[in-house]
Amino acid sequence: MRTSLPLACSALFLLAACGRAEPVADMPTQEELAAAANAAAANALANSEKADEADTRNYVNIEHGFSVTMPEGWVKDDTASTADGAVYQDPGAGADVRVFWQKNDQDQTLQQIVEALSNGSEGVDGDFIGDNEYRGTANDGEGNNVAVRLFRQADGTIVTATFVYPEMLSEQYQPIASKVLESLRVFAPKAQTPDGKAAAVTPLPAGNAAN
């Protein structure tokens, strides 16, 4: 019987240190445990909401091979968006971002396309980056400034991103427009990739897309 006592003490050591229990004051109360659980749950929810928000801001078109990050708080216009692109709006401010893919049946150069787009616009100013990318600004003649980033993909198709905002709010919107257009990325369309999705994971900067 004496040999069983050390075994019994060892079995109970973690729970009560062989009969020497910790003071009750050192143990967390039910209220403290509940508060800690609630705090952890709230933190997890906040992180989840941040991740969801980031997902809604990142527009990715795998079919046509491009993506762009929209401004925080902007709302997608589902009626104007199609399988070829999307429109996001700043609620109540009259500004919007439009990014669309389109065919190039006549196999025009980017220079020819920019010349055609410039007709009817005022104050057109921009630069070509190589043969396949263009960045510029213009005025639509209706009190709005237009920032544009446009490029010709390797298959000849065109992706155009425009940021339109009221001229009177230029100071507010110019840095936002620059950031949005800078976020534009292109990559191989789904039909041109072996698994139809790998290219979307590692998009290339637009300036390198057609090289």
Q: Looking at 57-61, 121-125, 133-137, 144-148, which range is the least confident one?
A: 121-125
- The domains of the chain, with CATH numbers, are 1-59 (no CATH), 62-209 (3.40.1000.10)
* pTM score: 0.67
d(CA 8, CA 199): 62
**Would you say residue 210 has pLDDT above 50?**
no
pLDDT category, 148, cuts 50, 70, 90? very high
* Residue pair 188/199 in contact by the 8 Å Cβ criterion: yes
